[in-house]
């Protein structure tokens, strides 16, 4: 306990009083940095991961600075005999430091909270990085106003009241931030995109997985491993394709056509029908068609053959492909399966394959698609059909003028 003689001694020597205060603050910082932080850290390690993230070493370091600065700020009022300007300087400097350290501790904790949140499954559907950045931006703006008010010794309301006149300027300066904030809310609330989604946005040459959703931008890692950064508000201004539905339903679509040379389409002869009845995939189809056509044509025994119904090679080929795809191990059995004709073009008759592959992984999907079309192109000649392609040098090799 300090007696009157000690108080008089310090009053006569203010420099020593100030030095003692600084030494006390240094001692307190040493204790907080090397003892208090360790104690808190040992307690936090036994708590859930989210608290371990929030009260990380960086946060504890800031708090270790915060406590001694707060001690100096409170104790500076007890300094006696020092010049008034020095007391004001210490008072305002410590206040500024308190604001800076407090805001730093909060923003670091928010950042670490976001890291912990990203480890949860819900973060893929509801990312909060944009919200964290908005809160941090607001805190920095408030800190700036508080620091200016401390330095100029004015009330913070004095500066806040002047913001009304500067609203137009602020809207212009923070236009992109405001647009991004609104877009972020729309994206999150409507679940338009999330981390891990495969999106296509040709306007920005983006085709890949979403790896980050922030306040101002969304980062997409393209399939060639390049990174495309897209302003968040552009997702509301431009169209984009999200492949999440394919991933959730577990089937990746094949929608591809081969072009049949129309001059190769014809009716089947009886010996060809007999041959196709030996195809395992066509046996039931041929038998059913034979019965159906026989019953129909029996009504027109004495009429021209043009009035009867007959099997065609293209129709039999379509039936074969339908059965082939239905028993293919990579084709999804519970999704749409279709072999259909499209409108004829100058390149021939398009025969479109419309099915879904079970494995949505790109490499496996391409392998399955290639296997299917390898077989389709190779087997077409068995039905007397020719695949159309533009003439090449090989086609004219034996051409004589």
pLDDT tens digits, one per residue of 95-152: 888 888 888 888 888 887 777 777 777 776 667 777 787 788 788 888 888 888 888 8
For the chain, the domain total comes to 3
pTM score, two decimals? 0.57
- Look at residue 10 and tell me whether its pLDDT is greater than 50: no
Q: Angle at Cα 304 formed by Cα 302 and Cα 307, nearest 5°?
A: 105
Residue 1's pLDDT band (boundaries 50, 70, 90)?
Answer: very low
Residue 51's pLDDT band (boundaries 50, 70, 90)?
Answer: low
- Alpha carbons within 13 angstroms on the beta-carbon side of residue 337 total 17
Whether 232 is in a domain gets the answer yes
Say whether both 236 and 274 belong to one domain: no
Residue 9's pLDDT band (boundaries 50, 70, 90)?
Answer: very low
Say whether both 212 and 111 belong to one domain: no
State the CB neighbour count (10 A cutoff) for residue 218.
30
pLDDT, residue 135, reads 82
Instruction: Supply the range of the domain harboring residue 237.
Output: 185-243
Q: What is the CATH number of the domain that holds 239?
A: 2.30.30.60
Whether 111 is in a domain gets the answer yes
**Whole-Å CA distances, 324 to 214, 339, 358, 359, 364:** 48, 11, 16, 18, 19
Say whether both 153 and 260 belong to one domain: no
Say whether both 26 and 156 belong to one domain: yes
More reliable by pLDDT, 165 or 238: 238
Say whether both 139 and 23 belong to one domain: yes
Say whether both 25 and 142 belong to one domain: yes
User: What are the tens digits of pLDDT across the range 157-183?
Assistant: 766 665 655 666 666 666 777 777 778
What average pLDDT does range 182-193 have in this prediction?
Answer: 77
To which residue do tokens 């001690």 refer?
Answer: 71
Residue 59's pLDDT band (boundaries 50, 70, 90)?
Answer: confident
Say whether both 218 and 327 belong to one domain: no
Whether 179 is in a domain gets the answer no
Whether 172 is in a domain gets the answer no
User: What are the tens digits of pLDDT across the range 352-369?
Assistant: 999 999 988 888 999 999
More reliable by pLDDT, 191 or 260: 260
Whether 238 is in a domain gets the answer yes
């Amino acid at each position: 306990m300090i007696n009157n003689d000690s108080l008089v001694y310090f009053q006569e020597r203010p420099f020593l009083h100030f030095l003692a205060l600084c030494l006390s603050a240094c001692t307190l910082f040493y204790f907080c940095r090397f003892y208090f932080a360790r104690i808190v850290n040992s307690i936090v390690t036994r708590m859930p991961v989210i608290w371990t993230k929030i009260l990380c070493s960086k946060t504890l370091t800031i708090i270790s600075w915060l406590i001694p600065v707060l001690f100096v700020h409170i104790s500076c009022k007890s300094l006696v005999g020092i010049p008034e300007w020095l007391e004001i300087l210490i008072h305002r400097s410590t206040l500024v430091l308190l604001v800076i350290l407090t805001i730093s501790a909060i923003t670091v904790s928010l950042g670490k909270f976001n890291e912990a949140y990203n480890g949860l499954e819900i973060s893929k559907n509801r990312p909060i990085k944009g919200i964290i950045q908005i809160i941090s931006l607001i805190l920095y703006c408030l800190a700036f106003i508080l620091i200016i008010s401390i330095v100029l010794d004015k009330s913070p309301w004095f500066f806040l009241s002047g913001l009304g006149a500067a609203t137009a300027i602020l809207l212009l300066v923070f236009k992109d931030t405001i647009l991004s904030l609104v877009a972020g809310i729309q994206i999150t609330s409507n679940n338009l995109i999330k981390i891990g989604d495969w999106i296509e946005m040709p306007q920005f040459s983006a085709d890949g997985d979403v790896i980050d959703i922030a306040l101002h931008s969304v980062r997409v890692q393209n399939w060639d491993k390049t990174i495309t950064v897209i302003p968040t508000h552009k997702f509301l201004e431009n169209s984009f394709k999200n492949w999440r539905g394919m991933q959730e339903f577990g089937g990746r679509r094949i929608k591809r056509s081969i072009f049949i040379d129309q001059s190769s389409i014809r009716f089947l002869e009886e010996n060809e029908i007999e041959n196709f009845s030996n195809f395992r995939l066509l046996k039931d189809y041929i038998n059913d068609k034979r019965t159906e056509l026989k019953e129909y044509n029996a009504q027109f025994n004495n009429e021209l053959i043009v009035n009867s119904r007959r099997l065609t090679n293209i129709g039999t080929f379509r039936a074969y492909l339908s059965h082939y795809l239905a028993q293919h191990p990579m084709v999804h059995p519970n999704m749409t399966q279709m072999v259909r004709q499209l409108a004829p073009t100058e390149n021939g008759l398009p025969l479109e394959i419309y099915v879904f592959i079970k494995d949505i992984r790109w490499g496996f999907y391409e392998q399955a698609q290639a296997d299917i079309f390898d077989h389709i192109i190779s087997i077409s000649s068995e039905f007397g059909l020719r695949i159309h392609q533009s003439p090449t040098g090989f086609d004219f090799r034996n051409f004589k003028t």
